[in-house]
Amino acid sequence: MTTRAQDIPHVEYIAQLLRHMVSVPASRAEWPKRGSVAIIVRLALPDNEQYFPSYDILGAKQKSQTPATLVQALHRFLNADGMEKARVQILFIQRARYPGDPWSGHIGFPGGKREPADASDRATAERETMEELGLDLRASGYVYLGQLDDTCAYALFTRVMLVISPHVYLQLTKQTPPMTLSAEIASAHWVDFGHILRAVDQPAKPFTGINIPVDIASRVFPACCSSEPLWYRGFRMLFGRFHYTVLPLGYTKDNSVFGAPQLENIVIEEHRRYSSVVRFSSDTELYLWGVSLCILGNLVDLSLPVPPETLNPSYTSIASPWPQMDQCRWGDVNFLVNAAHRVFWNPRWRKPWHVRVQKRRGEKMVGNNIDYFQAHFYVLRAAFVVSCLCKAVAMWIAGKAAMRMGLRATRWCFGSKC
């Protein structure tokens, strides 16, 4: 029997997320350039519900809080009267537009690069959230749930540009403190978790809905974007573009905070990067994609309270399908990549339902799973090689057949004395 993810009470997702984050440690990618983001979650009760449980009264404040006491305290908080009606909401931001900024105008989570003064990745997430939104995550109104697996932002497909460490916080109060947006943030939005769960019950298919086209040539040879030599244009015509999956997230202005008005035009660097004018939001939806969508996918994986086999059989990840190449040029590559996606990247082979144990420097590392884009480019390279070999063999066979037909025609023509 198939279970609808949207029919499960939202508090069960928070409880399961906490259990999995405590029991399965996050994997860490060692890289000098690091950044952190804060995933801030709150529980919204219906307007007619006046009561909201107090986390402190339940005896959660202790001098030494262990993971076990954290789980017990939060379970009491989530199981309080009336909380079964609560809706989970997640805070997303839209970054301001800046020329030369690779994340200009994108939708994501509050955060930024780690500074030498930051004691840890968690400290970076808390400092950046305070600077960008004016929210103090170290205050008593928030509790730290844990860390998700590090996610890598790639440049030139395989070279790691930045490692992002996501940290999850739960708001313990009914009202969110007033937010003060910095110049780096265009707007902040609370998005209902049900909009995310729709991607679990109704998985997206390739080339359906909204997608972000990224020019492959500009990613591989960014220095040639301005001059565009002849070989660069040939490369772009041959390989075309990547079409990245977009997850639309509905929002309301009542649950949003807007900063200074932003320019509507997109800077020329974005024109070259995306080969077209790309919007990352509308008046009612946010368009989440890329690294932020992968981070959100990891959060959903850990929070699902039911086994994957009970969900929609087509579900693999809310970040599905993988980035697609132009269908007219590389349809066979897309077919191979999507087939591998369904077989090797389904929830049964991902954390927390599948946990790998690796040894590094004599120590056991639990949950050190391969990330989304790294897996994608591994499969893409293999599919691309298979596609090129098959096309080369097909061209060789076609050439041999054409030569035989030409010889037969020549013999017949001269044999007939024409």
What is the length of the chain?
Answer: 418
Predicted local confidence at residue 64, as pLDDT: 57
Predicted local confidence at residue 262, as pLDDT: 62
Whether the per-residue pLDDT at 225 is higher than 90: the answer is no
CB burial of residue 324 (10 Å; 0-12, 13-18, 19+): buried
> What percentage of the chain carries pLDDT values higher than 70?
87
Helices 290-303 and 10-23, packing angle to 10 deg: 90
Query: What average pLDDT score do residues 48-59 get?
Result: 65
Please state, in angstroms and as integers, the Cα–Cα distance from residue 337 to each residue in 11, 19, 206, 268, 380, following that order: 36, 33, 11, 32, 6
The first and second tokens of residue 396, run together, are 């060789």
Whether the per-residue pLDDT at 173 is higher than 80: the answer is yes
Query: What average pLDDT score do residues 34-49 get?
Result: 89
Predicted local confidence at residue 60, as pLDDT: 47
The pTM of this model reads: 0.89
Whether the per-residue pLDDT at 266 is higher than 70: the answer is no
> Which helix (DSSP H) or strand (DSSP E) does residue 219 occupy?
helix 216-220
> What percentage of the chain carries pLDDT values higher than 90?
38
pLDDT of 288-344, one tens digit each? Answer: 998 999 999 999 999 999 988 899 988 989 998 888 998 888 899 999 999 988 888
Whether the per-residue pLDDT at 190 is higher than 60: the answer is yes
Cα-Cα end-to-end distance for the chain: 73
d(CA 369, CA 347): 12
d(CA 93, CA 37): 11
Residue 179 near residue 134 (C-beta atoms within 8 A): yes
Whether the per-residue pLDDT at 133 is higher than 80: the answer is yes
User: What is the residue type of 101?
Assistant: D
**Is the alpha carbon torsion for 113, 118, 121, 127 positive or negative?**
negative
d(CA 399, CA 131): 65
Architecture of domain 1-210+246-316: Alpha-Beta Complex (3.90)
> Can you give the residue ranges of every domain in the chain?
1-210+246-316, 215-244, 322-418
pLDDT of 73-95, one tens digit each? Answer: 888 888 888 888 899 999 999 99
Whether the per-residue pLDDT at 58 is higher than 50: the answer is no
Predicted local confidence at residue 181, as pLDDT: 93
d(CA 311, CA 200): 8
